[in-house]
Copies of this chain bind each other. A is one copy, B any other.
Amino acid sequence: MTNCKITILPANKRVTVPKGTVLLQAIQQAGVHIESACGGQGVCGQCRVKIEEGRYNTETTTQLSGQECAQGMCLACLTLVEGDLTVSIPRLADWEKAQILEGEGGVTLELGHWQINPALKKVHLKLPPPSLDDNLSDYERLRRELHRRGFPDRHLHCELPFLQKLGQVARQHHWEVTVTLIQSDTVVDLIEIEGGDVSQHRFGLAIDVGTTSVVVHLVDLVTGKTIDVASSYNAQAACGDDVITRIIYSQKADGLIRLQKLVIDTINRLIEEVSSKHRIDFQRIDSIVAAGNTTMTQLLLGIDPRYLRQDPYIPTANSFPMIRAAEVGLRVNSHASIYCMPCVSSYVGGDITAGVLRSEIYKQEPLTMFIDIGTNGEIVLGNKDWLVAASCSAGPAFEGGGVKCGMRATSGAIEQVRIDAATFEPTVRVIGQGKPVGICGSGIIDGLAQMLMAGIINRKGKIYTDLGHERIRVADGIPEYVLIWAKDSATETDIVLNEVDIDNVMRAKGAIYAGFRTLLIEVGLNFDVVERFLIAGGLGNFLNIESAVAIGLLPDIPQERFKYIGNSSVIGAYLALVSAELREESERIANSMTNMELSVSPAFMEEYLSALFLPHTDLSAFPSMREKLEQEYS
C-alpha cells in the first residue's frame, strides 16, 4: 500500500494517508476544519479545495464550473488521493481558529439575585482521630461528620474508588480532608476525597454544545464568576451541517463513536485552552453542565439518535442521569460529574430549557414568546402559568447554508447591508478586519429586506432583471445581485445574492413564521397578546429587527417588545452549574413544557404557504411594512 503526503494550506498542516483515501477524510485527519454540510455526499459544495500540486482523481460536479475545475478546484469529498498533494482551502483563511462571537457584553456571567450554591460542593472537614473508645470505621467517621453538617446520613453514597483512597488520605493529612460531593434530590454522592483544605479550589464548566459551535465557560465555583470563555466550531460539522445529517452519519459503521469523539475532542481543546491560559489544573474541574439540543445531547452521551428522526420522534431520554467525565472521555477530573440540561422532546432540547431558565419567563407574568433561530427554529410560548414549546425546521439558510456566498457569523462575514434605493449601490459592514468573504445570516436578512425596499426584488422574491444596472445580472441562467465586486472581496470572486438564495431564505423564514403562527393558533391566541418577544442564539446577535420584520421572519409588532438575550443556552447551563436550586428548576421547567408537533397541525401548511411572500401574503398582518412598501412603490 503506497502512502501519500498531503500538505494543507494555508494552515500548512501535513498528514500521511494511504493512496486512494478520500481527500475530505485526509483533511479532517490532519485536524484542519473544513465545512461539509452534506456530510461528504458531494451535494453541498462546501468542501471545495484547490489542488496546488500533485496527482488526484475527482468526480465532476455541478457545484464547480469548467473553469474552476481547470484551475484545480474540486470537492474534497469527491476526490481520491493518488500521490503526494498540496491542497489549499481557499474559502476562509482563518477557519482554523474561527471566533464564535459572543452576544454577551463581557465574559463575566453573574448570578444576579440567586445565591451561589452549586450542586457540587467541596466540604472541608476536621475529623476526630479514631481511638479505642471512638473506633468507628473511617467511612462511618466521615458520615457522622457529614451528618453533623446537615447531609442526611441515609442519602450518603460513595463508590469503591472513594473507599480505596479514604484510609490513607485521612491519615496522611491527620484527619483533615476535603470531600467533594454532589447533592441531588435523593442522594448525596461522595465523589472525591483530598487531604487538607482545598474547598476554595473548585471549578466548573458551563458548555453550550451547539450543532454549529461549542462555547465553554470556565467558572470559579467559589465566587460564581466566569474566569474565561472559549468557543470553536463543533468538529462534528465535518460529518454534516445539521442534526439530520449528523443522525444519518451516526448510522454508518462507527459513526456514533466518531461523532461522540469529535464533540468531546472539541470540548477538550476548549478546556485545554481556558485552563492552561489561567494555569488551572484540569483536575480541579469537577462539575460540568452541558446544554445542547436533543441530538447533540444524545451524541455527547453516545446514545444512538436514530429514533429522533423516525416517526413518532421519540428521544431515548429527556432527563439524564448524572454521569462521570471519564465515561465520555472529557479531560477534567475523572470523577467530575456531567449534568445535561433536560430536554423536552426530540426537537426541543436542553438548550431551550436552559434558555427558558435564563429568560425567567417560567416565573413571570407577561405572556412571552422565546425564539432561538438556527437551522431549526425553536419556540417557547407562555408565562409563569403555562409553557408550550415547538420547533420547526428552517434549513441552514440563516447559518449561511444553501446560500451561494453564505457563511457563518465569523470574521469576514457581511453582517449588515444597506442598498441605496436610487443608485442600487450597497454599503456593507463586515465582521472583524479586512475584506468581506461572504454573507452571514443577519447580512442575508438585511440584504433581502434592502433589495425589497429598493425595488430590486418583488414580493415573490424575484429579481427585476430589467433594471439596467451592472449589479443586476443573470449568471448561468440565475438572476443575481452583486453585493461586492471581486476586486473588493477576500475570495477574489464576486459576492452575490441570487434568486436561488432568496428562495431558500424565503422558505426558511416562512417555516419559522408559520411556526410562530401555528403555535399561537393551537393555543387560541394571536401576536397582539404576546407582550415580549425574546430572541436567543447567534443569529440574534447581529440581527436587524426591522429587516427581519420586513421580510416577514418576525411579526410586525412594536419594536420595543423584541429583546435579544444572547446565548441563553450557555447562560442557562451556567445557572444550573452554580445553583443546585436552579438545576432542580431546570427539571421542573422541562417537565412543565408541553411539546407541540407543528408538523401534524392542520394549520401549519396553510400558514407556511401564506408566509412564502415578502413579508407575507396577508399584508394586513404587516401594517408598518404595508405603509413602507406603499411609499416605495408610490
Residues of A at the B interface (CB closer than 8 Å) are 130-132, 135-140, 154-155, 157-160, 163-164, 166-168, 171, 185-187, 301-304, 306-307, 311-321, 323, 327-328, 343, 345, 595, 597, 600
Contact = CB atoms under 8 A, between A and B. Distances in A.
Contact of A160 (B137, B155, B167, B321): B321
B132 A316 contact: no
A186 B168 CA distance: 29
Given A139-B318, A171-B307, 10 more contacts: A135-B314, A135-B595, A138-B316, A159-B321, A160-B321, A163-B321, A164-B302, A164-B304, A167-B304, A187-B187
Number of copies of this kind of chain in the complex: 2
Given A321-B160, A327-B160, A316 B155 contact: no
Contacts of A328: 160
A312 B160 contact: no
Given A186-B154, A187-B186, A321-B157, A163 B314 contact: no
Contact of A137 (B137, B167, B186, B317): B317
A135 B304 contact: no
Nearest to A315: B137
Contacts of A595: 135
B139 A319 contact: yes
30 contacts: A130-B314, A132-B311, A132-B313, A135-B314, A135-B345, A135-B597, A137-B317, A137-B318, A138-B315, A139-B317, A140-B317, A140-B319, A154-B185, A157-B187, A157-B321, A158-B321, A159-B323, A160-B301, A163-B317, A164-B302, A164-B303, A164-B304, A166-B316, A166-B317, A167-B303, A167-B304, A167-B306, A167-B316, A168-B304, A186-B186
B321 A138 contact: no
A385 to B, nearest CB: 23
Contacts of A316: 137-139, 163, 166-167
Which 6 interchain pairs have the tightest Cβ spacing? A139-B317, A167-B316, A130-B314, A137-B315, A137-B318, A132-B312
Nearest to A162: B321
Given A160-B321, A187-B186, A317-B163, A135 B301 contact: no
A328 B157 CA distance: 19
Main secondary structure on chain A at its contact with chain B? loop
Given A302-B164, A304-B167, A135 B313 contact: yes
B317 A132 contact: no
Contact of A132 (B139, B319, B323, B597): B597
A312 B128 CA distance: 13
Most buried by B among A166, A303, A304, A306: A303
A510 B315 CA distance: 69
B321 A186 contact: no
Contacts of A157: 187, 321
Contacts of A317: 137-140, 163, 166
Contacts of A597: 132, 135
Given A321-B157, A323-B159, A301 B164 contact: yes
Contacts of A166: 316-317
B302 A138 contact: no
Contact of A135 (B131, B138, B312, B343): B312
A131 B319 CA distance: 19
A158 B164 CA distance: 23
A324 to B, nearest CB: 9
Contacts of A164: 301-304
Nearest to A318: B137
Contacts of A304: 164, 167-168
Contact of A138 (B155, B314, B323): B314
Contacts of A138: 307, 314-317
A539 to B, nearest CB: 28
Contact of A318 (B140, B168, B171, B303): B140
Contacts of A319: 139-140
Nearest to A157: B321
Nearest to A310: B171
A327 B161 CA distance: 9
Nearest to A167: B316
Contacts of A302: 160, 164
Contacts of A167: 303-304, 306-307, 316
A320 B158 CA distance: 9
A318 B595 CA distance: 49
Most buried by B among A131, A132, A154, A163: A163
Contacts of A321: 157-160, 163
Contacts of A345: 135
A284 B298 CA distance: 29
A430 to B, nearest CB: 44
Nearest to A344: B137
A152 to B, nearest CB: 9
A54 to B, nearest CB: 42
A413 to B, nearest CB: 37
A301 B163 contact: yes
A561 to B, nearest CB: 32
Contacts of A307: 138, 167, 171
A139 B315 CA distance: 9
Contacts of A314: 130, 135-138
